[in-house]
Amino acid sequence: MHALAALFHSLTVREWVIAAGDILIVYYVIYRTLLLIKGTRAAQMLIGIVLVGAGFFAAKMFELTTLSWLLDNLINYSIIFFIVIFQHDIRRGLMRVGQNLFIYARPYEQTFVFEEVIKATERLATSRVGALIVLERDADLVDYLNESGVEMDAKVSEELLVSLFLPDSENKLHDGAVIIKNLRIAQAGAVLPLSANARLDKALGTRHRAAIGVTEETDAVVVVVSEERGSISLCFGGNIARDLDSPTLRKALLGLFQKQKRRAAAQKPKEREVPAALEALPFERPQPAEEPEIPATEGERADAVDRANGGDVADEKPAESASAATAATASEAKPVEG
């Protein structure tokens, strides 16, 4: 303790500034890395890597020679494993650094893209044409598609979105999803994974289940147009808000893509909370079905059956006790015959 205090006292002002700057840079790098992998499977992989490191130090501490040797060799090649496992996240992070140089133009571009999406969904809903539009946020969707669509890299426009979903024998892309990445149409006709949640509303079709499925695994936002009802829905974090009008959809998209709304702590994809700006939306969260309580004893089971049949067990027991007491009194009052 005294050595540490002496070390602090021996540092000059310049050394203090350099040390503080060094710590802040490391903190910022770690913070940006956590933001980068938030909402992706890479977060779970990172936890596994941390556990491997903890196991290595534990093996050293308890002198477990074989386990220590195995983990030591594994860690020696960890840089190769790291690059292979996180190659998509590393590429996305480097792209994000380049995009931040032009960050001042993005709010206007976002608003333009949202308006084009809203106008396209309005036209499709009026014509009762089904549509599935996925807006990518932080997580790269490449690893989560069941089947990639046709690469496009086109500017987002109302006319192009409507034409991609028009049902026609020559249009083979209308049944798939349109992926909007970096404010441009990246793919059309993509196949999304279906949600395996058994507690979803049975009225939801394949298109809505696909929208919920991709939002369970990533932080993407999906706009769905129902072909049967001609309604517009929004999916985010495994939740769905149905029957939205244009102003509500616009408010939701702006709230989800504003940078100040992304400060929430990293959560599991299936437990992701709806941002505060969207609390007024009618999001439906599938809840586990309540299981009936099973009585422990035979008497409790009989009481439960009586209650199910409409009987009042609580009222019957005092009546039975009163009848027994009356019978006992009568028997005591009866004269004994000799």
Q: What are 19-43's pLDDT values in tens digits?
A: 889 999 999 888 877 776 665 666 6
pLDDT at 79 > cutoff 60: yes
Regarding predicted confidence, which is higher, 210 or 273? 210
pLDDT bracket for residue 270 (50, 70, 90)? very low
Identify which of 88, 175, 199, 82 has the alpha carbon closest to the alpha carbon of residue 136: 88
pLDDT at 280 > cutoff 80: no
pLDDT at 326 > cutoff 50: no
Please count the other Cβ atoms lying within 10 Å of the Cβ belonging to residue 300.
13
Identify which of 211, 216, 209 has the alpha carbon closest to the alpha carbon of residue 139: 216
Q: What is the pLDDT of residues 49-72, one digit of tens each?
A: 788 888 888 888 888 889 888 888
Please tell me the predicted confidence (pLDDT) of residue 117.
96
What is the rounded distance in angstroms from the CA atom of residue 139 to the CA atom of residue 218? 6
pLDDT at 97 > cutoff 80: no
pLDDT at 334 > cutoff 70: no
Regarding predicted confidence, which is higher, 336 or 48? 48
Please tell me the predicted confidence (pLDDT) of residue 290.
46
Secondary structure letter of residue 281 according to DSSP: S
Regarding predicted confidence, which is higher, 185 or 89? 185
Q: pTM for this structure?
A: 0.56
Within the chain, all domains assigned CATH 3.40.1700.10 are found at 103-284
Question: Would residue 237 be called left, alpha or beta, if left means φ above 0 and alpha means ψ between -120 and 50 degrees?
Answer: left
Please provide the average confidence, as pLDDT, over all residues in the chain: 76
Mean local confidence (pLDDT), 95-121: 75
pLDDT bracket for residue 319 (50, 70, 90)? very low
Q: What is the pLDDT of residues 240-256, one digit of tens each?
A: 999 999 999 999 998 88
pLDDT at 133 > cutoff 80: yes
pLDDT more than 70, % of the chain: 67
pLDDT at 288 > cutoff 50: no
User: Of 32-46, 89-103, 120-134, where does mean pLDDT reach its minimum?
Assistant: 89-103
Mean local confidence (pLDDT), 164-172: 89
pLDDT more than 90, % of the chain: 31
Architecture in CATH of 103-284: 3-Layer(aba) Sandwich (3.40)
Regarding predicted confidence, which is higher, 113 or 99? 113
